[in-house]
Amino acid sequence: MRGEVTDSTRRGDKAGSQENRRFFWVLKGGEVDIINLELIKSISRSSPTRIVLLVIDGLGGLPNPQTGKTELETANTPNLDQLATRGICGLIDPVSPGITPGSAPGHLALFGYDPVSFNIGRGVLEAIGIDFDIQQGDVAARGNFCTVDETGLVTDRRAGRISTEKCAELCQLLDGLVIDEVRLFVCPVKEHRFIVVFRGEGLASEVSDSDPQQIGVAPKVVTALRPEAARMAGITNQFIAQARATLAGHYPANMVLLRGFSQRPQFPTMGEVYKLKPAAIASYPMYRGLAKLVGMEILKTGTSIEDEFATLKQNYANYDFFFLHIKGTDSAGEDGDFDRKVRVIEEVDNTLPSLTSLEPDVIVVTGDHSTPALLKGHSWHPVPILLHSKWCRPDRVSEFSESACVFGGLGRFPATQIIPLAMANALKLNKFGA
């Protein structure tokens, strides 16, 4: 069904009555069917119950060959285990079995948005990752400083991975240009990586990359992929020419490569779909940015796990949904530091009583993907999940771990179903159909 009015939107009598209209969103690249969100929107209702979604980034792991235990199984987690005992457990697939998700798809899935349908362009994602306040209409691109030889052919796509400081210096040289009434922001990300954001009237992002993705060839001329994007292509090519002139003396970073031109997507908000008043607590910009894209309010917080839980407590009265993001587990996993990941998990467990003492109607603890220290990166392994509520049907799992969750009552299921499940347990969903 593609954008049809279905009876499903009509059926949720109470909630759906004002919503008897075509219900889909226009996302980049065309209309996308969002049957599941339609369904949920038609039956969701606002209520005073509260949901806390605690995301322990990269939670899932692989067993240490010496002990046979994963990071989570190694950690001493009496509080999580107690919650698992009283709640119901399972395993989630953020995208689908075998797929290793990046942070964006991982989190979109946790928020209930099919990560294959809901795309975020690379440029926008990078901008979000550095807390750049990207506005509707802006076009963002991911940039690399690169090296070209005297004939203009790319010899190093990363300019020898210049330092972040050097990158910041070079960005300053390019930042603030105005081309054809369009203001350009050029901001450093890390090492050779930067972003360019174009701000002005009537910009379109459908232009090709200048990054040829290989060496020995010249950077590509940017072309419009749709007629409306002709001006954008022209402005971009002017910027690239100016950048080349400005950077001429800065070998090895004497040129730029751009890709992933994109605009901030207009996703349906969690307020619209779920009728929640959601807030995000995250010490890292990327996760705040992702939360903002689905309409969460961002709460100011500190950098420690304790800070984040304190922020939850302070703001507990003002929202009915909290996304609380713990970064340290993923960072430790990426670093291949098994023991540090164990310690971060133990720190979360140790801080957990400040959350449980608030007695949220529903607590969900999970991760956006696995990050086994053994793999030093994100992985495809399903992620343990526990859900605690007065109305869950407890299972026999008494320990929050990968191997115990295999036997959980939630089974193994797609991460996009977590929010409907949490909503149900918070009694925030009407019956579907009579």
The answer to whether the CB of 311 falls within 8 A of the CB of 281 is yes
Interface residues for a copy of itself in 39-68 (CB under 8 A)?
Answer: 39, 43, 60, 62-63
Interaction of residue 434 with a copy of itself, rule CB under 8 A: yes
**Stated length of the chain:** 434
Residue closer to a copy of itself (CB basis): 16 or 200 = 16
Nearest to 398, CA basis, from 74, 81, 78, 69:
81
CB of 262 to a copy of itself, least distance (A): 8
CB of 81 to a copy of itself, least distance (A): 18
317 to each of 66, 96, 179, 292, how far by Cα in Å? 46, 36, 47, 20
CB of 242 to a copy of itself, least distance (A): 26
Instruction: Indicate left, alpha or beta for 137 from its phi (over 0: left) and psi (-120 to 50: alpha).
Output: left
Interaction of residue 268 with a copy of itself, rule CB under 8 A: no
Nearest to 147, CA basis, from 259, 258, 260, 248:
248
Range 391-396 contact pairs with CB under 8 angstroms and sequence separation of 24 or more: 391/424, 391/425, 391/427, 392/87, 392/88, 392/425, 393/88, 394/85, 394/86, 394/87, 394/88, 395/88, 395/89
Interaction of residue 424 with a copy of itself, rule CB under 8 A: yes
Interaction of residue 95 with a copy of itself, rule CB under 8 A: yes
Mapping DSSP to helix (H, G, I), strand (E, B) and coil, where does residue 166 land? helix
Determine the Cα–Cα distance for residues 368 and 56; give it in Å rounded to an integer: 7
Cβ neighbours around 399 below 10 Å, total: 16
**Among the listed residues 87, 115, 143, 252, the single contact to a copy of itself using CB under 8 A:** 115
Interaction of residue 381 with a copy of itself, rule CB under 8 A: yes
Interaction of residue 336 with a copy of itself, rule CB under 8 A: no
Rounded CA Rg of the chain: 23
9's enclosing H/E stretch is helix 7-11
Interface residues for a copy of itself in 135-174 (CB under 8 A)?
Answer: none
402's enclosing H/E stretch is helix 402-405
Interface residues for a copy of itself in 15-44 (CB under 8 A)?
Answer: 17, 28-30, 32-33, 35-36, 39, 43
Interface residues for a copy of itself in 206-225 (CB under 8 A)?
Answer: 213
Interaction of residue 104 with a copy of itself, rule CB under 8 A: yes
C-alpha neighbours within 13 Å on the C-beta side of residue 155:
11
Interface residues for a copy of itself in 232-261 (CB under 8 A)?
Answer: 260
Contact region with a copy of itself (CB under 8 A), list: 188-196, 266-274, 343-351, 420-428: 420-428
Interaction of residue 4 with a copy of itself, rule CB under 8 A: yes
CB of 105 to a copy of itself, least distance (A): 4
**Among the listed residues 49, 103, 147, 263, the single contact to a copy of itself using CB under 8 A:** 103
Contact region with a copy of itself (CB under 8 A), list: 131-139, 238-246, 336-344, 375-383: 375-383
CB of 21 to a copy of itself, least distance (A): 11
Interaction of residue 395 with a copy of itself, rule CB under 8 A: yes
Residue closer to a copy of itself (CB basis): 7 or 165 = 7
The answer to whether the CB of 372 falls within 8 A of the CB of 105 is no
Interaction of residue 226 with a copy of itself, rule CB under 8 A: no
